[in-house]
Every structure is written in structure tokens, then in C-alpha cells.
Chain A
Amino acid sequence: MSEFITLTIDGREIKAAPGTSILRAALANDIYIPHLCDHKDLTSVGICRVCLVDIEGRRPTVSCMTPVEEGMVVSTANEELEQTRRMNLELLVLNHDYDCQNCAQNNKCQLQELTRFIGLDEDRIKAMRAPELADPIDDSNPYYLRDMNRCVRCGICVRACEEIQGDECIDFVFRGIETRIGVLGDKPIIDSTCTTCGECVTRCPVGALVPRHAVEPTYEVETVCPFCGCGCGILVGARGGKVVSSTAIPDSPSSGGSLCVKGRFGLGFVNSPRRLTTPLIRKEGKLVEAGWDEALSLVAEKLGRYKGSEYATIASAKCNVEDNYVMQKFTRAVMGTNNIDHCARL
């Protein structure tokens, strides 16, 4: 077998690796096929049925579940496809709460994107609409909300939990029109085995899983998570001098684009009002605020009296390479001792 398969999509000749789905081959070549339940990080399941395409000599097929074949001729749009897609989309939207203005995913929602592309017949939806949407919002988790009224049952969250986190805390529960995503015993998410890694929240294509208190950043900076030794790449958003968001860097070599609860949701300590903001000096038994000049000259004068074996530095594994280099250089070159260690053994 050759390294690449050649096929034609909408009259364009395309090359793709064997095993690639028609959908992903098309997207990789900037040909848009509407889709909802497919996610690049997860296995395809063909649940939503909106990615239908025509393959010469076959009936309409879901492109996310069909691997490319040599010489395949695919068309992504014709009247029959459009009609079938529209109906499939209407079935997805039927039970969806589309109060879009009040949804955190507004303008980022994949269902909106589909609706724009495919179009809907509002009258038909009204006629078919199921009884009042009344699933209470699950706000039991401190970092994210679950609103089943906005869920489209694409199962991306279920697969993210299974394939990325590996914990399988959530799954489809109940049958037929009652089908939705739930945890063992259909309890609030906080009472499940969920570890709040947020891998599902970050991939939810609609507003069913959204971070709480989400604030759009004015800018984002690539850095590394400050917590444990895994060293996951994070994109940290800031606004008004405060850290407001954190997302995984997709190609971070140590994390492969994953994060845990701390890296994704736990950076709030930086904005804590209890941060130290000025030097403090003990005066008459109490620590009182002081300026840098006073603090530096006091420390320099005092430390000058203890050069050699009466002095020690405890450096920190929370500080950067450069900080640690300067600390050990200071200890050895200025204080004249090798009494330096840090918490590596703790």
C-alpha cells in the first residue's frame, strides 16, 4: 500500500493517510463538511448524522465513519444531502434550549455554526418541539456548570472522559427521548468520581458544559503550569492585570494537550487579595510594611554578620532555574558556604 491514498472531494484531488475519515481528510484540506459529534482528539462515533456526504456509487454516508479509499469520488453538497442534513439538524435542535444570548458559548457554539450553514425550518421545529425543557442546571461543581437543556447528546464529553482522562465518570443514561448524559445513580456531578480535569468542558461543542465565572481575556501568554513536575504547557489569559483563564497548549510535549483540575482551574491564587505586596520588617515584635530600600539594606547588613557556617539558604523548587542559580551563587560566592538545599526530599 502506498503511503497516501488519493481521492476526489468536490472535484479537488486530495491525499490522505490510509485510515483517515473522509471528514478529517476534507477538513485538513480546508473543505468544510458540517459536523458536530466528531472531535480531532477522540475516536469517531457517527452519532449526529450531519456530516453526510455522497460517494459515487453509494448511498449518502456519514463522512466521519467512512475511511478514505483510493479513487473515491465524494461530493459534500447536493439537494438531497442538504435536505437530509437539515432534518437531522432539526432533530438535534428539537430539545435544545436556544436562548443563545444568555449562553456562555454564544458565538463559539458549533450548533450555531451548523444552523448558519445548514439552515432550519422554525415552524417545523415548533410543531415537533418536545414538552417544556426543565432539567435543573447542575451547579454542584465549583468550576463548571452542567446544563442538560443545552446538551445535544453528541457524546464528546463521554469520550473525552474515557479516552483522555481515562476515568469513565459519565455516560449516556436512560433511553429514547429521555437519553442524556449522567453519572452513576444520576446524581449531581460533585457526587461522582469526576476529578474536574475539565477535558469534557473544554471540548463541549455547545453550552451544556461551561466554566463558571468565565471571563474573556484581553490577551493570552504561553507558559508552563506552576503546580507539579509534569510541566504541562498552558495558555494563560489575563485581563485588567488579573489572570482570568487557562487552557491547555494542544501540542505541549509533556502533556499532549491535557490538563488536570489545578492547571485548568486552580490559578486563582495569583489574584488572591492575600498576596504579599510589600516587604515586611519585624518592629517591636510585629511585622510591618516597609519599602525595598529599607528591607534590602537591613537584610544585607544582618546577613553580612553571619558569613560562613552560621548561615544557610533554603531555596525553592517552586522558583525558576534562574532564581535557583542566583540563590546558590549567592550562598556560595557571597555567604561563603555550601549550606543550601531545597525541598527535593519532601
Chain B
Amino acid sequence: MAGLATTLGSGAMTNTIAEIGDAACILAIGSSTTEAHPIVGYQVKKAVRQGAKLIVANPQEVPLARFAHLYLQIKPGSDVALLMGMARVIIEEGLHDQKYIEERCEDFDQFKQSLEEYTPEFVSDITGVPREKVVEAARMYAENNPASILYCMGITQHSHGTDNVMAISNLALITGNLGKASAGVNPLRGQNNVQGSCDMGSLPNVYTGYQKVTDPAAREKFEEAWGVSLSGEPGLTHTEIFGAAYRGEIKALYLVGENPVLTEANAAHSTEAMGKLEFFVVQDIFLNETAQMADVVLPAASLLEKNGTVVNTERRVQRVRKVIEPVGEAKPDWWIVSAIANEMGAEGFAYNSAEEIFNEMTSLTPSYAGINYARLEEGSIQWPCPAEDHPGTPILHTEKFNTPSGKAKLVPISYRPSEDCCDFDFPLVLTTERNLYQYHSTMTRYSEGLDELSGGEHIRINPKDAEKMGISDGDMVEVKSRRGKLQVRAKITRNSQEGVASLSFHFAECPTNLLTSAALDPVAKTPETKVCAISIEKA
């Protein structure tokens, strides 16, 4: 998100899901759309049926690649080279939108200069994609308007994830593909309310609506509303919190609805870190692997057992409603946190309903100011929605960008290789992926049937690699990285690129993140779970 915040001033999907079906070109990069965002996948396939060109760039031949006009099997971690290489072709061939660049972008000259590095030879060498295909992709993207870019964790979970995102934004900007229907830069958000959690300031550097904790005016506003004095120093990010716990600097952790034992990069390290905590509270709907380590476990109501709102990947605020009473003594998360605050003698947590909380939030959040439960009864609203008579904003940046100058920034980027490099001992690259039938690590495992459909975990290996290592389909293998090892069955498939293997991370029986690297992107602090050097041998 940090990448788009820099270039466009707002880190969210710029367009809506329904518009994707009408795009003339779709570039899906680092997204296994049909598996991770099935409904968006339906729209992509619809666009293709209506004649749109589809470019899929992914190290693994994901199911969506079957529908692509052009599939680019790039080497893991080479996205910047591909995207900047495409930009170079577009500008060299004069396919860029000069008028749009002049009117709406800045720093074009510096950006253009930085493209010198990306000669066709360099790009082919880094990405493993033949030159002609890079040229074809550049032309296909630039010549079919409107063009929409979809991306996901395959772009962000790298030690250079922010560079990847900015390279995507560059490409959309030089072709004038921002601020209009069926175009845009569209990060597909994972969890049902990941957009809403970010919007609410469950982040170490911002309050609600991305108001910075370092901004004295914002801080003063919240201090006044909450009747307390607040710290102006940004806090620690997710991965940093585990590091600090490991070093004994964080002593108490309150963890809600997450299972880091399976999902955190370099999971053994974070598991050890949680073991060192002096006080550890977990709030969840299941006693998952992480909750089993806690000092206190608090039972939460599931999403079908409470009222409230969620925000989907396209910034759409929607009402969720209680279907059944919470099981046993489970309570809504807001109730539990408020009860703890009240028990600690804090003021301002005497909430009686989700709606009261929502109203307090909107009074402090300009981008949500016009939204209320009564309006949401009539239908969902996409933020920004600054006033009650404002219809909401399906497409961002139609007139200007959210940067101080109102113009978008084109950013020069140099290619940086991934941190966890292969060598003699760890000759293969492991990348992580998702499975349609699973969702992260907990909920789907408790839904009978989904588990059966997903077919369990396998490490997917290219036939040539398998032959070299003497591995047959279905063999139990031992997978090692510089951080950990595990055993899993092998599936031999041409969908895996030579030299690359992949695992999902849904299964407690196969804790993939014991292997992955927690090397961080310097800006977004996202761990590099998509590139990890490994070795595989028959167990």
C-alpha cells in the first residue's frame, strides 16, 4: 500500500470489480485471481469472452493462465524488470499518452532516464521471458484501452514489494490508465475486511482514514475526542512486533483473529518470540495453534454472529448482520475490547452497539463522514464519501490525485534482486500460493467438505527438477530452507517453472512458513514470503 500512497496519494483499488468485465486489456500480475479472488476471476473471464486481451505474469502457471492471450512465466522476484522493461518499450515505440503525462503526472524525465537500465537483454536475462514476449506484452497493454492491472501478494510479499507496486503505477500512468472506468491499478485485498482494518487505523502509523500519528493536527483531534494524550511516535509493524518480542522488548501481546504459527514468515522465529512473552492474550473463534500458546484465550463471535460493517477490496462499505446468537459465551470483538478497557477504568468505551462505534468513527474520519447505518440499509457506499449527500466514489483520481500537487508521481526504480538467493545447498526457489478451497489457516479447515475438495498439501515441482532429484509424483520429500524444514508429498507438474517450487500455507500438517524468509521491504515492511531458497530431497 505504501507504494501507491507515494505515487497516487491513496493506497487502494482505484476501480470497482464490476468494471473489470468491460476492460479492453487486463494485466494480472502476482495474482492467482481465480483461486484467491474467485468473483474477480469471473469478471476477468467475462472480459476475455467479450474480446479483452489478458496478460498473466506469474512464476507459476496459475489456473487463470489458461485464459490468457499472453502468459509470461517470469522468474520469482523479477517483476520490476518486466514492468520497467514494458515501460521502456512503450515509450520507445511512442505508445505512451503524452497529453495525460503532461497534464496529470510529474517527474517524467527522471523516470524516463531510469529506463536506460532496462535494455531488452537485461530484462530478458532477469525475467527469463524472451524479448519478443516483453514487447508483445507492452504493446498489448498500451494499445488496448482501457487497461486494468490486477495484482496481489505476488507483488507485495517481496523485499522490494514497494518498488513492484510503484513500477505498476508507472505503467498505468504513462498509458493514461488511471481515473477512468475499467482501467486502474487494482490491488486485490485478501481478507474480508483487510481494507476496513487499514481504514480504521489498525496500523502503527495512522489513525482512521490514514490520518498520520505524526501529524500534530490529527493527533490533537483524536486527543480531544478521546480525552487522553497520545503518542506521536509510529509503532512497530507486524513483523517488527515479533522481532521485539523475541528480544524481550515487547512483553505483553494482545492478538486477535490470527494464527502466526502458520501464517507468519519464518514462523519458527515468531513462535519462539511468542513463547518469550510475559503475558499473551489471544482472541479467536477457534483454539488454533497460536491460541494454544496463550495465557488467556477469549472466545469471539464469528462474523455471522454480530452486527457491523466491512469494507471490501474495492473500498465498498457494507453492512454485516447478526444471523444467529454467538455460540456459548462468545462475544463480539468490540464488546470484549471495550469490557477490558472499562475494567481498566478507561473512559470512552461505554458502547452499547456497533452503530454507536461507527458514528464515533465517522465523526473523526473525513473519508467516511457521509456514511451512516441508515444510508447503508439502502445500499453499500464506496469511500471517500465526505458528506451525507455525497454518493461515494467508485473510481479514484478522476480529476486529480491525492498528492500535495494533485499530480501523480512517476518514480525511477532500479532493479534489486530478492534477498534470499539460491546457492549450491539451496538450489530451488520456493514461492507460496493459495488454494481456492482454503482460506489462510483456520476457518476453512473447520468447514467439512472444503478440506476434502482442496486435496491436501503438495509441493509442486517441475518434471525436469524432479528428474534431477530422483523424485516421483506422490513421493514424500523433505524441504529445507536456511530457516527450517518440513515433510510433504510432491506433485510433479508442468505448471511449475523449472527451478521453482510452490506450497500453500493453509495446512497445520505442513507449516510452510517455517521455511519462508522474513526479509522486509524497507518501506512497507512486508515480509518476503514469495521468494525463499530451498532444497528438496526424497524423505
Chain A positions near chain B (C-beta within 8 angstroms): 141-143, 163-167, 195-197, 221-233, 236, 238, 241-243, 253-256, 258-262, 265-270, 272, 274-282, 287, 292, 295-300, 302-306, 309-334, 336-346
Contacts and interface: CB of A to CB of B under 8 A. Distances in A.
Interface in B326-380: 327-334, 337-341, 343-344, 346, 348-349, 351, 354, 357-358, 360-361, 379-380
Contact of B251 (A310, A317, A325): A310
9 contacts: A143-B453, A227-B444, A275-B285, A287-B297, A311-B250, A311-B251, A316-B191, A320-B308, A344-B198
A274 B442 CA distance: 11
Contacts of A163: 49
B192 A318 contact: yes
Contacts of A302: 252, 279, 295
Q: How large is the interface on B (under 10, 10 to 19, 20 to 34, 35 or more residues)?
A: 35 or more
B401 to A, nearest CB: 22
Nearest to A144: B449
Q: Which of B257, B296, B339, B380 counts the most chain A CB atoms within 10 A?
A: B296
Interface in B177-192: 188-192
Nearest to B290: A314
B443 A269 contact: yes
Nearest to A311: B252
Contacts of B299: 275-279
A62 B470 CA distance: 62
B357 A345 contact: no
A44 to B, nearest CB: 17
B296 A142 contact: no
B231 A338 contact: yes
Contacts of A222: 319, 321
A344 B191 CA distance: 8
Contact of B308 (A238, A254, A321, A331): A321
Contact of B436 (A260, A297, A340): A260
B254 A320 contact: no
Given A229-B312, A276-B328, 13 more contacts: A143-B453, A197-B38, A223-B321, A255-B17, A266-B449, A296-B343, A318-B193, A319-B257, A329-B226, A331-B235, A339-B250, A345-B157, A345-B237
Nearest to B524: A345
A324 B196 contact: yes
A310 B286 contact: no
B358 A321 contact: yes
Contacts of B317: 321
B296 A280 contact: yes
Contact of A260 (B38, B201, B249, B445): B38
Contacts of A268: 446-449
B228 interface: yes
B281 interface: yes
B341 A228 contact: no
Contact of B298 (A228, A295, A309, A324): A295
B238 A346 contact: yes
A66 to B, nearest CB: 25
B477 to A, nearest CB: 25
Contacts of A330: 337-338, 340-341, 346, 349
B305 interface: yes
Contact of A343 (B208, B252, B258, B344): B258
B508 interface: no
B173 to A, nearest CB: 24
Contact of A143 (B264, B304, B449, B525): B449
Contacts of B258: 314, 316, 318, 342-343
A344 B313 CA distance: 12
Contacts of B527: 345-346
B296 A298 contact: yes
Interface string B220-253: 0010001010110111111101001100011111
User: Do most interface residues of chain A lie in helix, strand or loop, or is the interface mixed?
Assistant: mixed
Nearest to A318: B257
B285 A323 contact: no
Interface in B31-52: 34, 36-42, 45-46, 48-49
Contacts of B61: none
Contacts of A232: 39
Interface in B6-56: 16-18, 34, 36-42, 45-46, 48-49
B207 interface: yes
Contact of A327 (B236, B285, B333): B333
Contacts of B524: 345
Contacts of B324: 238, 241-243, 270
A259 B202 contact: no
A231 B444 contact: no
A328 B206 CA distance: 10
B129 interface: no
Given A142-B453, A268-B449, A333-B230, A345 B303 contact: no
Q: Which of A165, A236, A261, A339 counts the most chain B CB atoms within 10 A?
A: A339
Contacts of A343: 190-191, 194, 238, 258, 263
A123 B213 CA distance: 81
B312 A320 contact: no
Nearest to B235: A338
Given A322-B358, A323-B333, A229 B190 contact: yes
Contacts of A224: 192, 303, 310, 312, 318-320
Nearest to B379: A253
B447 A281 contact: no
A12 B529 CA distance: 66
Contacts of A300: 340, 343-344
A333 B222 CA distance: 9
A184 B175 CA distance: 42
B526 interface: yes
Contacts of A329: 226, 348-349
Given A262-B439, A320-B308, A231 B316 contact: yes
Contact of B323 (A143, A221, A341): A221
A233 B321 CA distance: 11
A52 B103 CA distance: 59
Contacts of A265: 447, 449-450
A229 B263 contact: no
B190 A317 contact: yes
B439 A228 contact: yes
Interface string B435-476: 011010011111111101100000000000000000000000
Nearest to A222: B321
A318 B303 contact: yes
A142 B192 contact: no
B193 A241 contact: no
A138 to B, nearest CB: 15
A269 to B, nearest CB: 4
Contacts of B265: 346
A231 B252 contact: no
B284 interface: yes
Nearest to A327: B337
A303 B237 contact: no
Contacts of A292: 329, 331, 339
Q: Which of B237, B304, B317 counts the most chain A CB atoms within 10 A?
A: B304
Given A228-B192, A230-B38, A341-B204, A281 B296 contact: yes
